[in-house]
Chain A
Amino acid sequence: MIRYILRRLAWALPTMLIVTFLVYVALRIGTNPVESYKRSNPRVTPEKIKQYIDINGLDPNYVLGYFRWLNNFVTGNWPRSIKGSREVWPALKDAMANTLRLGIAATVVGIIFGLIFGVLASIRPGGKRDIAINTGAFVGISIPPYISAILLQLLFAVYWQRWFGSSLFPTSGVYPAGHTGFDLFLMLKFMALPTIVVAIQIVATYSRYLRSSLLDVLNSDYMRTARSKGISERRVLIHHGMRNALIPIVTLAALDLGSIVGGLIISENIFSYPGMGLYFLKSFGDGDFPLLMPWMVIIVASILVFNLIADISYAWLDPRIRLE
């Protein structure tokens, strides 16, 4: 097991290099960092531009430039953002903390409800409850996150205020303007709507996954054996059924990181929640190369880590799978 993990980690490094190289090239072609630097700072001197090119590794030769960028990145010699010349790491760190909070909240809420609905639907397949949950999940999948965000905002913030005097949930930010310090209740209130938007997608996806996976398991021979042994129905369902049904789900959960991050980006943008998504959209819009590259590195790294977690937990849940 440990050897497997070590080998996977050893593989992760070259993968990381190749992917970040591709991202580097794509960003250079797509956002044209030097031009956007000049656009943001119209009166910049040629020396400054040369300095900017040097520290960002924007050599005309992509391979050479990439390694120059990599060298600066690894040694912690990070360039400042092109707009306002801010330090990158503090901004990135805050964004990461905010997104992690939102992402974890949405994932936990989403998976809990998804599992509950999935189990409820699979108890009597084809029944009224199954059909209702299935249709609901289908509607949930078909609603893009920005649409649920708009409608929730309209209902709970704008119209709630018209009807009842004050809005139920605030629509933007982490804290009200001017607030300092930590306040859990206030924070949760501000997180409510963005969390719901992301969670809707997760609930809809996972209740369907779990339903089909549970149905596969429920019809299998070992379930019949477990029942015939006289174990209580609850133990059969949870101990024998759930564990096996969760195997495919766990992999999917780890691999779904991309779509969760995608939902987060949209949700953060609409609710002006200062996380990774807003960070990306802003810096992409400005063509802010110094801000974009570290963001990309973090995303690529987390995708690789989650892939690894998926494989390991797969083997842990299903002893028949041998990692080698």
Chain B
Amino acid sequence: MAIRRFLSHKAAVTSCIILGVLTLFVILAPFTARYGVNESVQMPPNSFLTPRAQAWLGTDDIGRDLYSRLIYGVRVSLVIGLASALISVTVGSLVGAVAGFRGGKLDDIMMRITDLFLAFPFLVTLLIVRSVLGAMSWIKPLTGEMNSIRFIIILFGIFGWMGVARIIRGQVLSLKEREFIEASRAVGASRRYIIRRHLLPNSIGPIMVSLTFSVVGAITGEATLAFFGYGPQAGDGATSLGNLVGAAKGAVQTGFWWLAVFPCFTLVIIALSINFIGDALRDATDTQLDRGE
């Protein structure tokens, strides 16, 4: 049922294909990229070349091929998005399920904290949490340097679980009054068993949906940070979509349109595709719609 409904969502299927192709390109980066990340397309003068046969999407300020850099950048961004979404969804679903199921004080406190975080402007909270996280020296072995990719992943993991927890909590609150949970409690199942065997599997729809939205959140979030100069300074041989979009800011006034347009469009296409998939997943797994049909 759910799969058929998902497949009938044309935009989502198109998005899956686009993302699939993109992922293939990115995984096969050594073959699809025409130049190395830091390789110039030719001897100087090579900066700010317009798109041409030699460099399909033009070159940047020091003569590197934008097309190849985009491929490497998307690779880093997808890793950041997926990894931090996995962290935030795992933590978020567990916390949300426990809070929703047990209720009481724990639930109250948790919801207050998430309310607070969500009410603040996103960028402000993000910058402050980032600086606090970076200032805690005991956490350094886990997070690495403040401008490393690992740090960004953990930052968005910490940041993203709250939204997920809210969604899962809502789902669990409505599930826990259903008969099958009551039946399972009546035969003496432990709380842990109920959460693991009944509540989480039945919340798989919302969990999948929050996973997609977390991926978008982390990818655009990384770009936002990079845009304001707080992004990851990926080491040698790496860049990220955020870095490329950030570099676009400087290219606008001078009119190097390719440096602005291509990274921006790549980011928008990725965000749009994942959003479409998330939307279709939500429609497809909504149990309320199930009963209607």
Q: Mark B246-269, 1 if CB is under 8 A from A, else 0.
A: 001100110101001100100110
Chain B residues near A174 (CB-CB < 8 A): none
Taking a contact as CB atoms under 8 Å apart, the answer to whether B249 and A270 are in contact is yes
Taking a contact as CB atoms under 8 Å apart, the answer to whether B132 and A30 are in contact is yes
Give which listed residue, A139, A269, A303, contacts B119 with CB less than 8 A. A303
Give the residue among B129, B227, B272, B275 with the most A Cβ atoms within 10 A.
Answer: B227
Taking a contact as CB atoms under 8 Å apart, the answer to whether A146 and B224 are in contact is yes
* Stretch binding the partner chain, chosen from B1-9, B61-69, B120-128, B164-172: B120-128
* Nearest A-chain residue to B267, judged by Cβ: A147
Taking a contact as CB atoms under 8 Å apart, the answer to whether B271 and A299 are in contact is no
Asked if B134 is at the interface (CB within 8 A of a chain A CB), the reply is: yes
The total of interchain contacts (Cβ-Cβ below 8 angstroms) comes to 103
Taking a contact as CB atoms under 8 Å apart, the answer to whether A147 and B272 are in contact is no
Asked if A125 is at the interface (CB within 8 A of a chain B CB), the reply is: no
Rounded to whole angstroms, the CA-CA distance of A32 and B260 in the bound complex is 35
Taking a contact as CB atoms under 8 Å apart, the answer to whether A262 and B223 are in contact is no
Rounded to whole angstroms, the CA-CA distance of A143 and B223 in the bound complex is 12
Q: Mark B92-131, 1 if CB is under 8 A from A, else 0.
A: 0000000000000000000000001011111110011111
Rounded to whole angstroms, the CA-CA distance of A235 and B276 in the bound complex is 36
Asked if A266 is at the interface (CB within 8 A of a chain B CB), the reply is: yes
Rounded to whole angstroms, the CA-CA distance of A303 and B125 in the bound complex is 14
Given contacts A26-B128, A146-B227, contact A32 B271 (CB under 8 A): no
Given contacts A29-B132, A31-B131, A138-B275, contact A19 B268 (CB under 8 A): no
Main secondary structure of the interface of A (DSSP, over half): helix
Asked if A175 is at the interface (CB within 8 A of a chain B CB), the reply is: no
Asked if B203 is at the interface (CB within 8 A of a chain A CB), the reply is: no
Given contacts A143-B268, A153-B252, contact A262 B116 (CB under 8 A): no
Taking a contact as CB atoms under 8 Å apart, the answer to whether A265 and B124 are in contact is yes
* Nearest A-chain residue to B136, judged by Cβ: A29
Taking a contact as CB atoms under 8 Å apart, the answer to whether B120 and A299 are in contact is yes
Taking a contact as CB atoms under 8 Å apart, the answer to whether B11 and A135 are in contact is yes
Taking a contact as CB atoms under 8 Å apart, the answer to whether B122 and A259 are in contact is yes
* Stretch binding the partner chain, chosen from A70-78, A110-118, A154-162, A183-191: A154-162
Rounded to whole angstroms, the CA-CA distance of A159 and B261 in the bound complex is 13
Count how many chain A residues have C-beta atoms less than 8 Å from C-beta atoms of the other chain: 42
Give the residue among A26, A162, A258 with the most B Cβ atoms within 10 A.
Answer: A258
Taking a contact as CB atoms under 8 Å apart, the answer to whether A154 and B261 are in contact is yes
Asked if A150 is at the interface (CB within 8 A of a chain B CB), the reply is: yes
Asked if A176 is at the interface (CB within 8 A of a chain B CB), the reply is: no
Chain A residues near B249 (CB-CB < 8 A): 146, 150, 270
Rounded to whole angstroms, the CA-CA distance of A154 and B11 in the bound complex is 29
Give which listed residue, A139, A151, A158, A265, contacts B272 with CB less than 8 A. A139
Taking a contact as CB atoms under 8 Å apart, the answer to whether A144 and B122 are in contact is no
Give the residue among B124, B261, B271 with the most A Cβ atoms within 10 A.
Answer: B124
Asked if B279 is at the interface (CB within 8 A of a chain A CB), the reply is: yes
Chain B residues near A31 (CB-CB < 8 A): 131
Taking a contact as CB atoms under 8 Å apart, the answer to whether A299 and B121 are in contact is yes
Asked if A281 is at the interface (CB within 8 A of a chain B CB), the reply is: yes
Give which listed residue, B122, B131, B216, B220, contacts A30 with CB less than 8 A. B131
Give which listed residue, B224, B264, B272, contacts A138 with CB less than 8 A. B272
Asked if A141 is at the interface (CB within 8 A of a chain B CB), the reply is: yes
Taking a contact as CB atoms under 8 Å apart, the answer to whether A262 and B131 are in contact is no
Rounded to whole angstroms, the CA-CA distance of A266 and B230 in the bound complex is 14
Min CB distance A177 to B, Å, is: 16
Taking a contact as CB atoms under 8 Å apart, the answer to whether B260 and A258 are in contact is no
Give the residue among A154, A262, A281 with the most B Cβ atoms within 10 A.
Answer: A154
Rounded to whole angstroms, the CA-CA distance of A153 and B260 in the bound complex is 10
Rounded to whole angstroms, the CA-CA distance of A153 and B123 in the bound complex is 22
Taking a contact as CB atoms under 8 Å apart, the answer to whether B127 and A150 are in contact is no
Given contacts A30-B131, A142-B271, A258-B122, contact A151 B228 (CB under 8 A): no
Asked if B135 is at the interface (CB within 8 A of a chain A CB), the reply is: yes
Chain A residues near B272 (CB-CB < 8 A): 138-139, 142
Rounded to whole angstroms, the CA-CA distance of A156 and B216 in the bound complex is 28
Taking a contact as CB atoms under 8 Å apart, the answer to whether B121 and A262 are in contact is yes
Taking a contact as CB atoms under 8 Å apart, the answer to whether A262 and B119 are in contact is no
Asked if A53 is at the interface (CB within 8 A of a chain B CB), the reply is: no
Min CB distance B198 to A, Å, is: 30
Taking a contact as CB atoms under 8 Å apart, the answer to whether A159 and B128 are in contact is no
Report 12 cross-chain contacts, Cβ distance below 8 Å, ordered by A residue: A27-B128, A30-B130, A30-B135, A138-B276, A142-B216, A144-B223, A150-B249, A150-B260, A153-B252, A158-B255, A266-B123, A307-B119
User: What 5 pairs between A and B have smallest CB-CB spacing?
Assistant: A30-B131, A262-B121, A142-B272, A261-B121, A142-B271
The interface of chain B, by Cβ under 8 A from chain A, is 11, 116, 118-124, 127-132, 134-136, 216, 220, 223-224, 227-228, 245, 248-249, 252-253, 255, 257, 260-261, 264, 267-268, 271-272, 275-276, 279
Additional A-B contact list (8), CB under 8 Å, known A30-B130, A31-B131, A147-B264:
A22-B116, A30-B135, A142-B275, A143-B268, A144-B271, A147-B267, A270-B249, A307-B119
